[in-house]
Amino acid sequence: MVKIPGGVFMMGSPENEGENSERPQHQVTVPAFFMAKFPITQEQYQAVMGSNPSCFIGAKRPVESVIWNNAVNFCTKISRISGKSYRLPTEAEWEYACRAGTITPFNFGKTITTDLVNYDGNYVYASIFKGRYRQQTTDVGSFPANDFGLYDMHGNVWEWCQDKRHDNYDGVPTDGSAWLDSNASYANEYSQILRGGSWNNNPGLCRSAYRNWNHPGNDLSTLGFRVVCNI
């Protein structure tokens, strides 16, 4: 676990970047917290849950094909074992930790390469150079960390958050807490937020501000998670 210092940041994207779901850009105050240095690995998940649902097998690879409820159950079990309160990150905590003080689309700058992130290198973002498409996950920590010391915040696997889907940031909490009610349509009401992009996505979907969502019962090979703990 890495201690993430509290602070204030601008969440979302300005008008010249990103999608409407990432607006309005707004100021959020996030209290300090601890966050896992890596996505939860298959060996960690196996040790706690007694099973491994992953498609791409490897002890140090991120666990994937995890439904949202099982990610929550993992947090419940390790909380019971450790005596500490583990949980999924809020969407605000996730973006704050991913950015690590940066304001660019990625915590590495205005673009990324497949030397820095595991994504589909057939596509580019603010660059003319294509890269590798590995077509699978990679061991956690295979690429450089951000300035908070967190690895794989861009790419590799999407990471489940606490928050439910909302079509935009109108009415969002500004204290870093989870947005648990839903003002979205009926179909979207049962969707949970995902962040970070994956091995199977173009780099634009790996941006710090990009918001994805999926039904909590889906178990795609792109879906993983990491945990946080209160100070």
For the entire predicted model, the pTM comes to 0.96
DSSP 41: B
φ and ψ of 192, to 5 deg: -110, 145
pLDDT of residue 33: 98
Neighbours of 172 (CB within 10 A): 17
pLDDT of residue 181: 82
pLDDT of residue 185: 53
φ and ψ of 207, to 5 deg: -60, 155
- What the block records as the tokens of 231 is 């100070």
CA distances to 4, 48, 111, 159, 191 from 83, in Å: 20, 14, 41, 24, 30
Low-confidence ranges of the chain (pLDDT < 70): 182-189
- What the block records as the tokens of 105 is 């689309």
CA distances to 50, 86, 134 from 73, in Å: 12, 10, 30
In the chain, % helix, strand, coil (3-state, to 5) comes to 20, 20, 65
Say whether 184 sits in a helix, a strand or coil: coil
pLDDT of residue 132: 98
pLDDT of residue 57: 98
Domain of residue 46 covers 1-231
φ and ψ of 189, to 5 deg: -60, -30
pLDDT tens digits for range 14-43: 999 999 999 999 999 999 999 999 999 999
Do the beta carbons of residue 219 and residue 158 sit within 8 Å?
Answer: no
* CATH number, domain with residue 98: 3.90.1580.10
pLDDT tens digits for range 116-148: 999 999 999 999 999 999 999 999 999 999 999
- What the block records as the tokens of 51 is 């099973």
> CA 218, 90, 112: angle at the middle one, nearest 5?
80
| Count: domains in the chain | 1
Which residues lie below 8 Å from residue 93, measured CB to CB, with a gap of 6+?
A: 4, 30, 33, 35, 176, 228
pLDDT of residue 228: 98
Closest CA to 66 of 197, 157, 165, 200: 157
